[in-house]
Amino acid sequence: MVTPPTILRLAIPSPLRRYFDYLPPAGVPRQQLQPGIRLQVPFGRRTVVGILARVVSQSPITADKLRQAQYCLDKTPIIPPSLLQLLTWATEYYHHPPGEVFFSALPQHLRQGKPAAPPVYRRWFLSPKGRAAELATLNRAPRQQQLVELLRPYPEGLTSSQIKEQLGACQSSLRSLIAKGWVHSQEELLCKDKEPLKEQLRHQLNDDQKAAVTTLLAAQQQFQPFLLEGVTGSGKTEVYLQAIEKIITHNRQALVLIPEIGLTPQIVERFRRQLQAPIAVLHSALSDRERLAAWLAAYEGRAAVVIGTRSAIWTPLQHLGIIIIDEEHDPSFKQQEGFRYHARDLAIMRAYQAKIPVVLGSATPSLESLDNVKRRRYSLLRLSQRAGPAQTPRIQLIDVRSRPLEAGISPSMLAALKHHLGQGNQALLFLNRRGFAPTLICHECGFVVPCRRCDAYMTVHQRTDRLLCHHCGAEYPLPTSCPQCENPLLRPRGLGTEQVETGLKTFFPEVEIARIDRDTTRRVGTLNEMLEGVHSGKYRLLIGTQMLAKGHHYPNITLVGILDADQGLFGSDFRAGEHMAQLILQVMGRAGRGNKPGEVLIQTHHPGHPLLTALVDHGYRHVAEILLEERRQIGFPPLGYLVLLRARAVSPAAPMIFLEAARKLATEFNSQGITLLGPVPAPMERRAGRYRAQLLLQGNSRTHLQRLLAAWVPELEHLKAARKVQWSLDVDPVDL
Ligand code: ADP
Ligand code: ZN
């Protein structure tokens, strides 16, 4: 009997939607060829790193054409089987090139083929001899003297970069001190787990919380999705913490996904404070070394809890016991470029594969999750009271039709601001548009300054005297006269946060104002400084964009003003209404969280709009019912499934030509029960100099849709028109 050949099926970083087969490198024992190891392989004329996805015994490529892998980069898998399973599923479900899927999950160092060893760094510290030494004996060596002085207060030592930061380069002095035996060094893991803070802050749970924790813990060994619904401040985080605390005592790990760590440092701090366990934090501001260290800490089980943003769903955790998605409705869980996955949906799949509970928490659950509760796929856990002493705020609409608005503020809003500030409280104004004004218009001829590369207008940023395109980042100085008629009477039109801030300064010259948006928080640390200023009471008036809507607790804010609710009512996006309602409620959740009652005022030109009145009179669940009914009527998610094929090109015609061909191709397969809509130009057809168009597939059965995709997508690559465009597939798009 002949033994079947061993063929390695690899994920290779390539835009092609397929794996690549190789013969094993010479002399590698069969048992080392475990899925999840990396190999160095020839690819075209290059050499690249590939990941072993499967070992197979047959290849569509004939044996004499198969190339041989050069060598193994790993002795043991860097991707554990559980993560491999998720990656494989994601590749199939999203019909995305496996190489891109696998490699987007890895830290940069591992993508580059560097060893999967925790990065080490060296700490330098004084030896007992160095500590006892007389500084005066170093009078002739001032650099050494400085070094000794620098190291004295740090018994645990300093890193080379910390020393360099303080003293500049001083390698030779360091060497002399080592030679004298005054300084020792030690290698340490970069991600040495920080000591958890000792102070314990466990609350006595209220009845709802107790029921939630008990139910979660009862489901520990099985796949079970939960929707934990409760307004901001109802104690959801406390439920996560106490459930995690129990689960990790059984040596299992917890994965916690949150929308944006930069905006919510308090959450991480609270986890550290309350859980007596090592926590790895994964977010976009980590260096490559730090990311690798956190990844390995998770993989090797040294981290009991991993907290991270969207991409942390790819953390290798071999003893995963629970997954938590906080603010599950948040749009940031959907990756909107490249590999367009949804971390919430992947979390459900990961929990299913691992047979563990998954908790989706929100005050304003996505329509998807509410529908899943209705269909009894998810169990609902409700927290019906606010945990602390706070009361639910009062909400009122302000009809601003034909009212004078100054800097976007109506007389009633101004009066309320005066009242609340006069009582020594804080107020928050919300406007989801940064900059000074969305457009610059010529008062003489009506010309509005457009972006040269997008079908969009330039936004005025007065503080920097510039025009900025929020879509492609183009930036010009403010023109001094109209580009069309040369009249100098150019006026900003519309409203942005910068303008509101300017207006507030004239209304309340004595009050310190914090503007929180992407413009004011670009520098690392400024957001934190501002938030601290809000907490300390330095700032009493806040104006900001949706950055304000996320997870902060401001106990002294008693007034929340929504300056423009209409923005969300008439958006072209099918989720505009859902997002508006969620945003308004999230912002509202900031008010009255101390023991002072809160007030919420919403400015609108459409006080009779059914979504707004439903929100004010009956709350979010009622709005969700109206929206679900709308979605049912058009067969849109969650009551129908969508796939969007996008194309873009420098040439205006190419995207439509490609999509027409794609449409025709789709009709040649069994597309029964699937509606093809379009192709049509994208809502903003030109962006950053590219023309964009899209074809929408809608179906009532996910299985049918997936079956069509499996046949259709591989063929798209071969269409002649595909060569003239860049195209991408968005399975379950969140916006169109
Ligand atoms: P959420 O995550 O729903 O916004 P949190 O868990 O952050 O709610 O709770 C809101 C506030 O109430 C926090 O300051 C928290 O410390 C406090 N809290 C939570 N649970 C309780 C409880 N059972 N008793 C007293 N205070 C609580
Ligand atoms: Zn632009």
What ranges do the domains of the chain cover? 7-112, 120-189, 207-383, 394-438+493-630, 641-731
For range 179-186, the mean pLDDT:
86
Q: 678: which 2 tokens? A: 């379009």
* 473 Cα–ligand 2 center, Å: 6
Q: Which ligand is nearest to the CA of 364?
A: 1
Q: Which tokens is 107 given?
A: 């830290």
Residue 223: is its pLDDT beyond 70?
yes
Q: Is 230 in the pocket of ligand 1 (CB under 6 A)?
A: yes
Ligand 2 ion: nearby residues, β-carbon < 5 Å: 451, 453-454, 469, 471-472, 474
Ligand 1 contacts CB of residue 234 (under 6 A): yes
**Confidence category of residue 593, pLDDT binned at 50, 70, 90:** low
Mean pLDDT of 606-631: 91
Whether 7-112 and 207-383 share one fold: the answer is no
Q: What is the pLDDT of residues 489-516, one digit of tens each?
A: 788 887 889 889 999 999 999 999 999 8
- Is there an atom of ligand 1 within 6 Å of 67 CB? no
**Ligand 1 pocket residue status of 432, Cβ below 6 Å:** no
Task: For Cα atoms 32, 34, 37, give the angle at the middle one, nearest 5 degrees.
Answer: 95
Cα of 70 from ligand 2 centre, angstroms: 46
Model pLDDT, residue 522: 77
Say how far residue 588 (Cα) sits from the centre of its chain: 22
**Ligand 1 centroid – CA 206 distance (Å):** 10
> How many angstroms is it from 539 CA to the middle of ligand 1?
24
Cα(499) to centroid(ligand 2), Å: 21
CA 188 to chain centre: 31
CB-based contacts of 576: which residues, under 8 Å, 6+ apart? 568, 569, 570
Which tokens in the block code for residue 310?
């969207």
91 lines ligand 1 (CB under 6 A): no
The response to whether residue 206 sits with its C-beta less than 6 Å from ligand 1 reads yes
Contact 391, 216 (CB under 8 A): no
CATH level 2 (architecture), domain 207-383: 3-Layer(aba) Sandwich (3.40)
Strand partners, 293: none
**528 C-alpha vs ligand 1 centroid, how far in Å?**
21
Range 641-731 has CATH code 3.40.920.10: no
User: Is residue 194 pLDDT above 60, yes or no?
Assistant: no
| Positive/negative CA dihedral, 428, 434, 436, 442 | negative
DSSP character string of 323-360: EEEETTT-GGGB--SSS--BHHHHHHHHHHHHT-EEEE
* Cα angle value 502/505/507 (rounded, 5°): 115
Average pLDDT, the chain: 88
72 is in an annotated binding site: no
Reported as a pLDDT band with limits 50, 70 and 90, residue 592 is: low
Q: What is the pLDDT of residue 262?
A: 65
What's the complex ipTM?
A: 0.97
* CA–CA–CA angle 43, 46, 51 (5° rounding): 50
Q: What is the identity of the amino acid at 122?
A: R
CA-angle at 308, arms to 328 and 245, nearest 5°? 85
Q: 8: Cβ–Cβ under 8 A, 6 or more apart, which residues? A: 21, 22, 23, 24, 33, 39, 52, 55, 69
What CATH number belongs to 7-112? 3.40.1440.60
For residue 233 and ligand 1, the question of a CB distance below 6 A is answered with yes
> Over the stretch 204-216, which tens digit does the pLDDT of each residue have?
899 999 999 999 9
Nearest CA to ligand 1 atom 26: 388
> Order of strands, edge to edge, in the sheet holding 71-72?
67-68, 20-23, 7-11, 46-56, 38-43, 71-72
Residue among 647, 669, 643 at smallest CA distance from 722: 647
- Say if residue 191 carries a ligand binding annotation: no
Cβ of 575 less than 6 Å from ligand 1: no
- Cα separation, 21 vs 614, in Å, equals 57
Sheet-wide strand order for 674-687: 674-687, 690-699, 641-649, 726-731
Strand arrangement, sheet containing 466-468 = 459-461, 466-468, 475-477
In the chain the first and final C-alpha atoms are separated, in Å, by 57
State the Cα–Cα distance between residues 393 and 27, nearest whole angstrom.
Answer: 71
269: CA distance to ligand 1 center in Å? Answer: 14
Average pLDDT, integer, range 97-103: 96
- Element containing residue 657 per DSSP (H, E): helix 654-668
Question: pLDDT tens digits, residue range 510-569?
Answer: 999 999 888 888 776 788 788 888 888 899 999 988 887 766 677 788 899 999 888 777
Q: Enter the tokens of residue 280.
A: 């790895």
**Nearest to 21, CA basis, from 61, 48, 49:** 61
Q: Where are the alpha helices (DSSP H) in 341-487?
A: 343-354, 367-374, 411-422
Q: Residue 240 to residues 23, 526, 585: CA-CA distances in angstroms? A: 47, 29, 22
Ligand nearest to the CA of 381: 1
The winner for highest mean pLDDT among 119-133, 318-332, 431-445, 679-693 is 318-332
Query: DSSP per residue over 222-267, as a string?
Result: S-EEEEEEE-TTSSHHHHHHHHHHHHHTTT-EEEEE-S-GGG-HHH
Taking the centre of ligand 1 as the mean of its atom positions, its distance from the CA of residue 389, in whole angstroms, is 10
Ligand 1 pocket, mutate which of 205, 237, 241 (most atoms under 8 A from CB) = 237
Atom of ligand 1 at shortest distance to CA of 363?
Answer: 3
Assess whether the C-beta atom of 236 lies below 6 angstroms from ligand 1: yes
Residue predicted with more confidence, 388 or 78: 78
Q: What is the mean pLDDT of residues 691-695?
A: 94
Q: Please give the CATH superfamily to which domain 394-438+493-630 belongs.
A: P-loop containing nucleotide triphosphate hydrolases (3.40.50.300)
Query: Within a 10 A sphere around the Cβ of 1, how many other Cβ atoms?
Result: 3
Say whether 482 counts as a known binding-site residue: yes
pLDDT at residue 449 is higher than 90: no
Q: 550 near 309, Cβ under 8 Å?
A: no
Yes or no: say if 305 and 277 are a contact pair by the CB < 8 Å rule.
Answer: yes
Which residue in the block uniquely carries the two structure tokens 């009622």?
622
Number of residues that this document lists for the chain:
736
Give 297-310 as a DSSP string: HHHTT--SEEEESG
Give percent of the chain above pLDDT 70: 94
Q: Which pLDDT tens digit goes with each residue over 632-663?
A: 998 999 999 999 999 999 999 999 999 999 99
Distance between CA 719 and CA 470 in Å, rounded? 34
Distance CA 436, CA 498 (A): 4
Q: Is the CB of 232 under 6 A from ligand 1?
A: yes
Ligand 1 centroid from CA 246, angstroms: 18
Contact indicator for 162, 238 with CB cutoff of 8 Å: no
pLDDT of residue 405 exceeding 90: no
- The residues with which 209 forms a beta bridge, in sequence order, are none
Looking at the CA of residue 589, tell me the nearest atom of ligand 1.
Answer: 4
| Stretch 662-673: mean pLDDT | 88
Residue 315 near residue 141, CB atoms below 8 Å: no
Counting ligands in written order, the one closest to the CA of 385 is: 1
State both tokens at 207: 């009845």
Q: Is the CB of 203 under 6 A from ligand 1?
A: yes
Structure tokens at 365: 């659950």
96: closest CA among 342, 315, 369? 342
Q: Which ligand is nearest to the CA of 470?
A: 2
Who's near 449: CB < 8 A, 6+ residues apart?
Answer: 439, 440, 441, 457, 458, 467, 479, 483, 490
Q: Which pTM was predicted?
A: 0.86
Return the ligand number nearest the Cα of 229.
1
Q: What are phi and psi of 26, to 5 degrees?
A: -65, 140
Query: Residue 371 above 90 pLDDT?
Result: yes
